[in-house]
A = this chain, B = another copy of it.
């Protein structure tokens, strides 16, 4: 039990760190009345959206909890009430913690944006410090919450199923929060760009644009709350998967040990990060990541030696860690500013927009190869590494690789939240006219934030990949424990398994399409509203002093649309899973999960990388190549960027969560599938 308590202690420590950083950021000097006003608008818009979204999701979580109470792990009339109640409560707690993590992140991000904007008048180092510390609040809160929740829950129940249900609650909330946030942010972003940049030729973040506040709100609800919920969910899921396999081996203490040390390494990394003398924000972020990685490797090695844990397990976590870094580097290659793909896509843009799309999409396809190879390879190596310890240890090895990959998640979330904070800060500098110097500083931070986001996205997908493979193992473990007499080899040549694979492959595609069509529909409405405002509000287009667009209308459209569109896609994935399970049984589900994992990862990588590539190709052209801003090449690149936005910020990142949710349901409902399936 030592490591469970250690987990609780370290996660409480992370709360203190988060609280300290929160206070520190809050005490930084505020801005002019105008800036405060705009920041307040963003804050209100974000809070209002989150409130409405959470109200819908509370109902949904309630329904799910009742379903769990009635049916899981076994129908209530066949089981004892307490077990089912425990499951239902665990699910609710998971959902609540996930929601809280999102809320905390949003609160700090909508404070830190203004503080960082104000600090950017003093130079790059202070502005970077404020933004990074703001992001770190989120990082600490998310990882702290997840480890704290898992530890306490395990202490109270000693039941792996309850941890699965906890994870399921968190994932389901994350699924809808990400879909909703993703639709919101891209509706606003795409509409603002389309009318502002493309039609009227006014700059980004121009206060005349009625959608500009909604756009800034979107960064917060999509990138901060959404990404936080996603990584919260991956983190919990990796712990849950490792727990299921680990408990069967009596090795669950190792899970807590490695997860706790990961949080510790992240805390230390976050506290010691700084700009250094090079004044390069991107380098500072990367250095932080490398330090955390190295710290984690050393800490776990030392602990393993002291406690005489088998070094093969340690090796498995390190494999996961190394692959995480490699996937990050691959994403960086395919989306990085000064790399070949960006240059090629920029060059293709000078022929026409169709070539922007074709070349960016093609590079996106290629970019999947190294990442999928890396995930498959790390699963293979960690499996083979731990196989000598005993048959079931092999699967435990994979789940420990997932734990290793997610060990530095505290640092990753901090880097990731940095992006939308500085993006918002840039918007505030522009909208509140804070001056040219501040704009240069905030531009530089924004660029660093973009690169960091591409890398953390690759990381998030890789982490989800290993986690869901581990969950597949957990699913098998669950089936074995329920029906030990069953043959649970999921043989591809079994037509039920194959059928499952085919359906599993199709689901992420439909899921992604539903979200993107949601953005399409929503953006149509918002574009119409922006046009209406420019036409009917006198003086708006000309920028007459004192004339303000009706920002709230656009915020309303984004909010209502996102709330309406966020449920169907997620529900589709859940329902198809249940149908496959009740029709084809546990074997079909084994295939279904595999198909879902591979196609989910593939599409997520494709969309994240192609989206990032288009975005940076546009920025690359804006530096003056191929005619620079306003040229035909630039117009083509803007079209690519607009296509890429829902790719990389709506559909792509939601796919991770879809795969996780589906994997968790399968484990939870395994009992029912065994008892009730058609085949």
Determine whether the beta carbon of B506 is less than 8 Å from that of A368: yes
Determine whether the beta carbon of B377 is less than 8 Å from that of A499: yes
A466 to chain B, nearest CB (A): 11
Determine whether the beta carbon of B646 is less than 8 Å from that of A358: yes
Once bound together, how far apart are the Cα atoms of A524 and B379, in whole Å? 42
Given A472-B492, A491-B491, A499-B379, A513-B362 contact (CB < 8 Å):
yes
Interface presence of A231 (CB below 8 A): no
From A198, A368, A598, A642, name the one whose CB has the most chain B CB atoms within 10 angstroms.
A598
Once bound together, how far apart are the Cα atoms of A493 and B473, in whole Å? 7
- Identify which of A9-17, A159-167, A347-355 touches chain B: A347-355
Chain B residues within an 8 Å CB radius of A168: none
Encode A83-108 as 1/0 by CB contact (under 8 A) with B: 00000000000000000000000000
Closest B residue to A494 by beta carbon equals: B489
Determine whether the beta carbon of A352 is less than 8 Å from that of B506: no
Determine whether the beta carbon of B495 is less than 8 Å from that of A598: no
Determine whether the beta carbon of A472 is less than 8 Å from that of B490: no
Determine whether the beta carbon of A502 is less than 8 Å from that of B354: no
Given A358-B646, A520-B358, A352-B194 contact (CB < 8 Å):
yes
Closest B residue to A487 by beta carbon equals: B489
Interface residue from B366, B379, B492, B507 paired with A510 (Cβ < 8 Å) = B366
Closest B residue to A638 by beta carbon equals: B354
Interface presence of A456 (CB below 8 A): no
Once bound together, how far apart are the Cα atoms of A491 and B502, in whole Å? 16
Interface presence of A380 (CB below 8 A): yes
Given A351-B527, A376-B502, A591-B358 contact (CB < 8 Å):
no
A145 to chain B, nearest CB (A): 31
Determine whether the beta carbon of A516 is less than 8 Å from that of B352: no
Interface presence of A512 (CB below 8 A): yes
Interface presence of A116 (CB below 8 A): no
Given A369-B506, A510-B366, A495-B379 contact (CB < 8 Å):
yes
Given A498-B379, A520-B362, A354-B503 contact (CB < 8 Å):
no
Could you tell me which residues of chain A, from 354 to 375, have a CB within 8 Å of some CB in chain B?
Answer: 354-355, 357-359, 361-366, 368-369, 372-373, 375
From A473, A502, A510, name the one whose CB has the most chain B CB atoms within 10 angstroms.
A502
Q: How many copies does the complex hold?
A: 2
Determine whether the beta carbon of A501 is less than 8 Å from that of B643: no
From A348, A376, A594, name the one whose CB has the most chain B CB atoms within 10 angstroms.
A376
Could you tell me which residues of chain A, from 494 to 543, have a CB within 8 Å of some CB in chain B?
Answer: 495-499, 501-503, 505-507, 509-510, 512-514, 516-517, 519-520, 523-524, 527
Interface presence of A476 (CB below 8 A): yes
Once bound together, how far apart are the Cα atoms of A475 and B510, in whole Å? 31
From A361, A398, A506, A520, name the one whose CB has the most chain B CB atoms within 10 angstroms.
A506
Encode A109-132 as 1/0 by CB contact (under 8 A) with B: 000000000000000000000000
Determine whether the beta carbon of B493 is less than 8 Å from that of A472: yes
Interface residue from B361, B365, B491 paired with A490 (Cβ < 8 Å) = B491
A58 to chain B, nearest CB (A): 30
Determine whether the beta carbon of B369 is less than 8 Å from that of A509: yes
Given A505-B598, A606-B509, A354-B591 contact (CB < 8 Å):
no
- Contacts A355-B523, A376-B501 known; list 18 others, CB within 8 Å: A190-B354, A194-B352, A353-B353, A359-B517, A361-B643, A368-B509, A368-B510, A372-B505, A376-B499, A377-B499, A380-B495, A394-B495, A490-B491, A491-B492, A492-B591, A492-B594, A501-B598, A509-B606
Among all A-B residue pairs, the 6 with the closest Cβ atoms: A376-B502, A354-B642, A365-B513, A362-B513, A383-B495, A365-B509
Complex A-B: 12 CB contacts under 8 Å: A354-B643, A357-B639, A358-B516, A358-B520, A376-B498, A376-B503, A379-B499, A380-B499, A383-B495, A472-B492, A492-B591, A501-B594
